[in-house]
Chain A
Amino acid sequence: MNINQIKKEFPIFDEKIQNNDLVYLDSANSSQKPKVVVDRINEFYTKQFSNVGRSVHYLAVAATNLYENTRTSVQKYINAKDKNEIVFTKGATEALNLVANTLGQSYLQEGDEVLITELEHHSNYVPWHFLRKSKNIKINFAEINEEGEITLEEIEKKITPKTRLISITHLSNVTGAILPVKEITQLAHSKGIIVVVDGCQGAPHLKLDMQELDCDFYAISCHKMYGPTGLGVLYGKKKWLEELPPYQGGGGMINEVKKDRISYGELPNKYEAGTMATAQVIAFDQSIKFLESIGIENVMKHEADLVEYGQELLQKNNSVKLIGNPKNKGGVLSFVIEGVHPHDIATILDEDGVAIRAGHHCCQILHDKLNIPASARASVGIYNTKEDLDQLNESINNCKKIFNL
């Protein structure tokens, strides 16, 4: 696998960013887009555009087929049993809100407990908080260990007779910890507990097999997966998607509408109300094909090498303190430098064309636990090289120089 060749497929790396070559280390936030994805959006709007699933004219039928092709591609990519288990949403956030909202309407009862973890992104906490307010459910938190991991034992410890649902991240966007989702699901199911997985960081970087993981729901963010913004995927087991009520009402999701009664459409239309992000869905097929052409095993190997290299580099750098040291770690390097606030780090790195994120990364619970207001985060994607991490380290040194460290 030639990374420089792969990098050439991303037009943004031909650009100069404030006169610098771009060192993009913010893929956990959002990934860059390969040319095939950008071109596909352009081609669809230029030559093939029509709304899907409604009209019978030629373009509408062709667009509908393209749209449904992506659904099949996603199904195969994540090894879901049924095509109708794939629902398109406007993002992973909407996917998680859909799950919380519909389970809240018809499944969770007052006093029920939902178990999440201290690693969760706000989008896997706030939707459950809504139910805490509206339905009086209780939210419990599994706690991280010293390494920034959530262990199976910790989950087991936090399960009570009232736990009805566990909602966890697959891969932490701060510590990089990969959670034992399969084992957690086995344990949960043995106790009749549903499992929801926030797969925002998992989907772009890990091999996905829904039938093997066996979780009940899995939320995917397409823009982190070399795909377009404004698009997410919710995988849900068919029995749940059939049983739960609709999330939003509107065109496309209905079967029959009368003045005194309404019946809803079949899956997956039931959850796709209104005109969907058609061009994005159709272009996302190219993202899947792009990942398949590289092979997820190769992606994982490359990113694991990068993380190991970056970790060693930063560990050797005095005054840099890495956050979390999980045994099973994805492509995220979060750190603090004593004496330099993360925002100052990010501004100084930016001057060298090094794009990282600074802040709490939508994980305030975790930062409170670690007793830091913010952290700096470098995260990798398929296009990154060891040279990028060398540049990161060099720019960190410049930062230390400016701050007289």
Chain B
Amino acid sequence: MNLKELYQEIILEHGKNPRNLRKTEDFNKDAKGNNPLCGDNVHVYLKLNGQKIVEDISFEGSGCAISMASASIMTDLIKGKNEHEAKEIVEDFLGMIKENPELMSENLDEDEKTKLMSLSGVKQYPMRVKCATLSWHTLISAFDENKEEVKTEN
């Protein structure tokens, strides 16, 4: 176990000053997620254009440093990607957090991969994985227009 790996500077910085923590006023898709055991909650807003490209993405909510940083980094990376690419990135991220040693997506450049890998320290803390994944599951739910709130268990 290594706290330094879990709480890297980039995580602390994003946790403290989350990007896109606001509501996209003209959003056309959204979804809510919560973690009933911790009380963490997130609301993801998407604005997709006609070509299904994410023109804007934002989130509201509260949670620990891990969940806020994860949502912040996610929104940063997803902006500008199309729905297909975005979903592929989510799958890649969830795979990495659960078991894969690295990210494999061709839709992320090296800088983006480095940024995202800063969350990999969570792997050693099984109870905290749900903190890191809540906003990502919620993003998928927004794309798919699921009306039911996402509830993340481990």
Contact = CB atoms under 8 A, between A and B. Distances in A.
B62 interface: yes
A343 B38 contact: yes
Interface in B101-130: 125, 127-128
Given A341-B63, A373-B40, A402-B7, A18 B12 contact: no
Contacts of A367: 39
A115 B34 CA distance: 30
Interface in A311-365: 339-344, 347-348, 351, 358-360, 364
A341 B62 CA distance: 9
A403 interface: yes
A95 B127 CA distance: 30
Contacts of B41: 373
B152 to A, nearest CB: 13
Interface residues of B, number: 21
Contacts of B131: 343
B65 interface: yes
A340 B39 contact: no
Given A359-B38, A404-B12, A344 B62 contact: no
B64 A341 contact: yes
B7 A343 contact: no
B38 A344 contact: no
A355 to B, nearest CB: 12
Interface residues of A, number: 20
Interface in B16-53: 16, 37-41
A18 B40 contact: no
Contacts of B65: 340-341, 344, 403
Interface of B: 1, 3, 6-7, 12, 16, 37-41, 62-66, 68, 125, 127-128, 131
Interface of A: 18, 339-344, 347-348, 351, 358-360, 364, 367, 373-374, 402-404
Given A343-B38, A343-B131, A348-B7, 11 more contacts: A341-B68, A342-B64, A343-B40, A347-B3, A347-B127, A351-B3, A359-B38, A373-B40, A373-B41, A373-B63, A404-B12
3 shortest A-B CB distances, which residue pairs? A341-B64, A343-B64, A360-B39
28 contacts: A340-B65, A341-B64, A341-B68, A342-B64, A343-B40, A344-B7, A344-B64, A344-B65, A344-B66, A347-B3, A347-B6, A347-B125, A347-B128, A348-B3, A348-B7, A351-B3, A358-B38, A359-B37, A359-B38, A364-B39, A373-B41, A374-B38, A374-B39, A402-B3, A402-B7, A402-B12, A403-B12, A403-B65
